[in-house]
Structure formats: structure tokens, C-alpha cells
Chains A and B, each alone.
Chain A
Amino acid sequence: MPINYYIFLSVTLFCIGVTGVLTRRNAIIIFMCIELMLNAVNLLLIAFSKMHHLALAAVDANAGINAQIFVFFIMVVAAAEVSVGLAIIVMMYRNTHSVDVNFLNRLKH
């Protein structure tokens, strides 16, 4: 399968993520969109590593494994980030009884 498909797919996913972050006001949905962007990048990393080391794969089963390990790191970090982020959202809900980000505009002061 040519690499273009993967690239198109991950670009599409990334753009959906960006659009979601920009347009939605619900903090949880924004959060999910961020995850979407992360996963788009992960997908791209895996695809590139596989394609790039295709010639070596016959000789060395471990060729291109670096990128895959890298993806695992991203997943772990993202999971940690999700836990922090959700904790923030919970605190936000407790304080304002809402998860609308536009409600939090006190940064300008």
C-alpha cells in the first residue's frame, strides 16, 4: 500500500482535531480533539518507519523499531496528560458548574 494513503489519513485526522479545538467550547470535546491530533501523528510515525525500513525488514526483524517505541512513549505521556487534564476539567466543573472554556476568560486580567 503506498504511503500516500497513510499521509492523507493522518492529515485528515489532524485537521479534524485542529478544527475541533478551534470551534468547540466543550472542554471534554477539545480534549478528545487533542488526542485525535496526537494519534494522527502517531499513525504517521509508524507508517514512515515501516516504509522507510522496508528493504531492511527481510534481514533485520527489528528494523525501524525506534519509531514504534517512540509512539509508545507518546501514548504513555498522552495518558498521563489525560489524567491531569481530566482532573483540571473536574475542578473546573466543581467551581463553575460548566465545562465551557469560553467561560474561563479571566486570563486577560
Chain B
Amino acid sequence: MMTLALQNLTRRLFRSGITITGVAVAVGCLACLLAFGEGYRNGLRRELDGMGVQMMLVPLGCPYDAAARVLKGKTLDVSLPLTALTAARADAAVAVAAPLLMATLPRPSEGRTDCWVGVDESIRPLKPWWKLKAGSRWFADADSVILGAEAAATELREVGDMLYSPETGRRFRVCGILERSGTSDDSLFFIQLHTAQVMFHQPDRLTAIAIRLRDPGLVTGAIERLQKTPGAQVVTLAEMLGTFLNLVGAVRTLVMAVAVLAVTISVLTVFNTMLASVLERTGELAILRAVGASRGQVFRLLALEALLLTVVGSLIGLLLALATGHSIEAVVRHFVTLAPDGSLLSLSGTVIGQCLLVGLATGIVAGLYPAWQASRLPPARALRAVGT
């Protein structure tokens, strides 16, 4: 039957070629759209992850003022108990909870303020842009300080130098200097959390807890649970996250609309080809029936022809997407000048599988009716038609 189906398709090579081309273009288009959709979503997610913090636990008060103050490296008038950190770290949705204790020491005669930040090791995953200059290392002891690039330049400090805090009488050794990042971290003095708590007389207190979730999608549940922490409230980067999710959702909807349209056109093309083929081959099919072919055999033959057209078209479409994807990406990048870093084309196994499944489904849907029509032809009537 396969041979017969192939012969039928190759007998009308031009028509078959046009149909296969239509399917290939549709599947190629679908593959590219899905791959770009996935790649863009992944890229944006990477960028969001790169921002480190997704929500913050801050003391009760105006949450947005608190978040703005913490993000800008300013202190809060109230503080959190250490138990809030335990609660945050125990939450299943929380990947990283980093405690922060911030304190400022104004130096009005110099027109500046020293901002000291107590941190622990957990801050590092939340600050992916942090790069320590050569010779730097993480806190060696309670008297170590890591300086932001601007702070080090202002104080003319290098790794190994001493740094004195006249207001608190503490002396530190510079164990690390951060490379310039363009963030407020550049002008901060980072010390160990416990040291900061002792230095600023805030035992077991925190200014804020920076939180990163295992998955941004878990944000709603995490907020509900963490809001119950006594004396604390959650501030999310909800606006940004919401905007991000909405835009990606809108893009996905449009992409799916294009995909549905392409597939529909592909189905109609195959349907048209097969129906025309049935009408043209009425006599031929009647002879088949007359020589003993069952309705089921005729149905399967036509269905197989439709499937062959779509499978071959789908494979060519995928090859087309693979071959031209990177060129199309270059064009896309021309339009989207600030697209996320990394490849936008994510032609993953899932995308390829989805495209092949859609190709098969197209063949089945498009071939069903013509095959059914062909199988219902009465041999005698068909032969009469041939005779006239």
C-alpha cells in the first residue's frame, strides 16, 4: 500500500510538490515561532534571574518606601527579628533568603554618608553581577570588609589595606574590592552580618531579607505565607514581574495565533489536494473497488497519501527552520535591538516534537474527509462515470 501511495503522489509531482511546500512553509514558520517564543521567554527569565532579588521581607510600614530604601542602600527606622529569616528560609518556594543589616554613618563635612551593610554568604547568588577584583576573597574573619568599587576609590584602599571607622571605633582589613557594577553596591562597605549587628548595636535584628524564589510562578503562594511572619511584610517586584509575565503572555498568544493560522492553511491545502485527487481518480478508485479492494483499504490508501504529504512537508519544514533560523534570528535582533543575551532560537526537542505532532495531525484531519469520500464510492457508479 505504501508503494501504491508513493506512486500516486509521484504521478502528480507538481501538485504534490506544491502541497509539500505549503506544509513545509507552515511547519517551518510554526517551528521558528515556537522556537523564538521559547527562546525569548527563556532569555527574559534569565534576565530576571540576573536581577537577583524577586521579593523582600521588610519591617512593617510603607512597603514601597522600605523596598526603595533598601534597594538604594539606605537604612530603615525599624528592623526585623532574626526569626523572620528562619521563616523565610523554611518556606518551600524560597531558593535563597539573604539577611541584610544596613546602617549609615553621615559625614556631613564631606558631603557624603558611609553606608555599611552586614551580609552573609547567601547574598552572593543574589548579586550575580558581583565580581571581586584580583587578589580579593570573601570575608576571612569578623574584621574583614569588602568595598564597593567607588568606596575603595574614595578611600584609596586596595586589598590588604586597613580601613578604620572612626564613629564606631572598629578597624577592618580590606579582604575584597568589587569591580564597578553601576549599582548602588559600588559605594557600600560590606561586612559580616554578625559584625554589623555588634557594630551598630542591633543584635539579632535585620533591616531586610532579600528573597529569590525557586520559580517566579510560586510568587503568589510565597507572598501569602511570608506575609504571616510577625512584624514583617512582603514587597515583591510584582509590577516588574507582572509586566514581564503579561508581555510574554501577549507574545505567546500572538505566536499561537500565527501558528494556528499557519496550521489551518496547511490543513486546507492538503485537504484541497486530496479532495481534488479523489475527484480526479474516481474511475481509478472504482476499479480498485471492483477488483476487490475493500472500503477500508481505499480509506487507508488515501489517508496514507495525506499523511505522507504532511510528514514529508513537516520534515522539510523543520530542516528549513534549522537552516534559516539563525539568519531569521539576525533579522529579529535587528528589530528587537535590546533582546535578551544568548540565542533567541530555542529549537528544542519539545518544539521539534510539537511540530511533528502538528504535521501528523494536519495529515489526519486533512485526509479524513477525502479518504472517507473515496471509500464510499459505489464501484458500479464510478465505472459508469468512467464509461461516459
Chains A and B come from one and the same complex: no
Interface residues of B (CB under 8 A from A): none
Interface residues of A (CB under 8 A from B): none
